[in-house]
Amino acid sequence: MNAMRHFHHRHPAVLHQRKFDRLLARLQARLPDRAGRAMAWLISPSASLLRLPLAVLFIIGGIFSFLPVLGVWMLPLGILLIAVDVALVRRWVVKSWPWVESRWRLRSRRKRRHWKRTATAAAQGSAGAPPPTRTISSAQMSRPK
């Protein structure tokens, strides 16, 4: 009996579920309060009928992210919502999430560096300055052509 219980805790599906739960908890902790509460409700069992259609809409919105209101952010959100109910997608999310997070951190660092450089250049007065031009003296300007 004890060996069976031990096997159950090491089963890959159980391990993926635990990792996925930790992933969702970390993600929820990073969200603003209102968005965190919405996410908690969406992943709760009471929202199961709404979760899959909403996930499909988010994925479609992510695909059409070139339109004004929609964005690429909708695609991973839709995949996460599907992963709550579908074990294959959950396993894929658990395995690929470290790569996604590392790419996101790298992108954020690059954006911060870019904005720091832009702000520093603006403070120094060189941001947006036109390229140097040839100066013309007043004597050259008053000469008839």
Helix axes 74-85, 12-30, angle to 10 degrees: 140
Residues 6+ apart with CB under 8 A from 23: 93, 94, 97
**How high is the pLDDT of residue 56?**
94
- Quick check: pTM over 0.85? no
Mean pLDDT over 95-116 rounds to 83
pLDDT: which is higher, 46 or 3: 46
> 104 falls in which pLDDT band (50, 70, 90)?
confident
pLDDT digits (tens, 9 = 90+) for 49-72: 999 999 999 999 989 888 887 888
**Distance, first Cα to last Cα, the chain:** 105
**How high is the pLDDT of residue 6?**
52
Distance CA 25, CA 87 (A): 18
Residue 8 has pLDDT above 80, yes or no: no
Handedness of CA 76, 80, 81, 83 (dihedral sign): positive
Residue 13 has pLDDT above 80, yes or no: no
Cβ neighbour number for residue 97 with a 10 Å cutoff: 18
Distance CA 89, CA 79 (A): 8
Q: Which helix (H) or strand (E) holds 99?
A: helix 87-124
Residue 145 has pLDDT above 60, yes or no: no
**How high is the pLDDT of residue 82?**
92
- Taking all residues of the chain, what is their mean pLDDT, rounded to a whole number? 80
